[in-house]
């Protein structure tokens, strides 16, 4: 009899503990907990990274062969190099002598990869836009936008 009463008391105690635990979770609103343990917060360097700094002008040159012109002394080529350890996407435009822009793209440029952008009849000016590789939220301008704005 004493053993039977002990078993009932044990079952009641376990039931109360389980019910109390479930109720404590039911009445807790996670949105109300505004505390943040700063030891585990990792801020992304992407927010402060100026990706344009990753791509530098390695060299430029005048003259060279062009498909429609043969050899042209007016051909301007700029060699742009990714100097960062992070892969980047690059858009570069080279200005023609008629002040229009010829644009080139290179996606997933690894460190030390380069893009050779050119204009067969170039003015010697170029532009570049750089973003972290695969960042489709950062849009490159269209060639139409480049020609209208620059």
What is the tally of structural domains in the chain?
1
Q: What is the pLDDT of residue 116?
A: 96
Query: Does a structural domain hold residue 27?
Result: no
**pLDDT tens digit string along 66-75?**
888 789 999 9
pLDDT at 67: 85
Range of the domain at 91: 52-149
In the predicted model, is pLDDT for residue 128 greater than 50?
yes
Domain assignment present for 140: yes
Q: Is the pLDDT of residue 39 over 80?
A: no
Q: Is residue 78 part of a domain?
A: yes
Is the pLDDT reported for residue 138 higher than 70? yes
At 5-29, the pLDDT tens digits run 656 666 666 666 565 555 454 444 4
* DSSP letter string, 59-115: EEEEEEEETTTEEEEEEEEEEEEE-SSS-EEEEEEEEETTS-EEEEEEEEEPTT-EE
**Per-residue pLDDT, 49:** 81
Position 81 scores a pLDDT of 97
pLDDT in tens, 53-105: 999 999 999 999 988 878 999 999 999 999 999 999 999 999 999 999 999 99
Q: Is the pLDDT of residue 148 over 70?
A: yes
The answer to whether residue 61 sits within a structural domain is yes
Residue 60 lies in a domain: yes
In a domain, 90, yes or no: yes
Give the pLDDT confidence score for residue 36 in this predicted structure: 39
Question: 7 lies in a domain?
Answer: no
119 or 35, which is more confident: 119
Residue 107 lies in a domain: yes
Look at the block and give the residue holding tokens 């939220």: 137
């Amino acid at each position: 009899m004493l053993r039977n009463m002990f078993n009932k008391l044990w079952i009641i105690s376990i039931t109360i503990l389980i019910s109390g635990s479930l109720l404590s979770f039911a009445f807790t609103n996670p949105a109300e907990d505004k505390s943040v343990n700063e030891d585990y917060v990792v801020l992304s360097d992407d927010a402060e990274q100026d990706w344009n700094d990753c791509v530098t002008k390695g060299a430029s040159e005048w003259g060279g062969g062009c498909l429609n012109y043969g050899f042209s002394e007016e051909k301007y080529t700029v060699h742009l190099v990714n100097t960062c350890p992070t892969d980047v996407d690059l858009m570069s435009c080279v200005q023609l002598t008629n002040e229009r822009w010829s644009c080139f793209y290179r996606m997933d440029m690894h460190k030390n990869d380069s893009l050779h952008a050119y204009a067969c009849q170039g003015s010697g000016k170029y532009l570049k836009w750089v973003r972290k590789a695969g960042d489709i939220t950062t849009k490159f301008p269209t060639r139409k936008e480049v020609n209208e704005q620059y």
